[in-house]
Amino acid sequence: NRVAVVTGANKGIGYFIALQLGLSGLFSNIILGCRDIQRGTTAANEIQALVQGKTDTKIEFSPLVIGDVATHSTFCEKMEAEFGKVDVLVNNAGFAYKGADPTPFEGQTEKTLSINYFGLVDFTEQILPLVRKGSDPRIVNVASMAGRLGQVSPELQKKFTDDSLTIEELNTLLKQFKSDVQAGTYKAAGWSSSNYGMSKLGVIAATKIWARQEPTIKINACCPGYCATDMSSHKGPRSADDGAKNAVIPATMENPPTGEFFRDYKIAKW
């Protein structure tokens, strides 16, 4: 009996991650953590129909809004009560402003980071005690090539890659980025000009911290690639089904590494 949780799984890449995990036959239960109840329920029913007859996996929906700390707690309490553990967590839920969105750069920082970085970190920290109880436990954080280390100055790169960096210190770095954006000094301070890129750089840095701190859990990040999803306005050349494989590989492979970044179906450089 192994339990997988996939966040943001009602459409796009998350939907196909949940489907592929369901078809793998490695899980008794897959929980779709989604904010939209109707879409989440529909996705769970669709995926259940697609795995029916192939595996005995049970697909369920449970409400979860990444960035809303109260729902993080409620979700974790439900997992504790129902299963007493989580074997695999795939942090897929994310947000990106469209390129044509008129919101100014400094107006996009808070929402982008509160979901993609701070929300993901809080949810992961809350669910970690359950993952520690898992069998062959794993965490996969869906990041992006946009989170590349080279987008910040060499001085900041050293801070993000410091082997003694903690989650608390990483949170402080990302808060500094936010305040430098509001002050209009972020470029001079060596930060990136991409809110989305900074949020995903934070996710990859957090992945490496957790991998060091949690030796019994295999914790990796991935880039699904530029996929044809709602987030990209369906401009990406890769299908969401193919993109999902970059998360499913570290979630299901035998003897996975830890603290690595997967891209194009293999380990890649951050």
Report, as residue numbers or ranges, the catalytic residues. 196
Q: State phi, psi for 233 to the nearest 5 degrees.
A: 55, 35
Q: Which residue has the tokens 């904010």?
A: 35
98, 232 Cβ separation under 8 angstroms: no
Tokens found for residue 98: 């469209």
d(CA 108, CA 193): 12
Tokens found for residue 103: 């919101």
d(CA 246, CA 99): 25
d(CA 138, CA 200): 19
Q: Helices 120-131 and 167-183: crossing angle, nearest 10°? A: 170
Residue 5: its H or E element: strand 3-7
Residue 108: its H or E element: helix 105-113
d(CA 61, CA 39): 9
d(CA 247, CA 9): 13
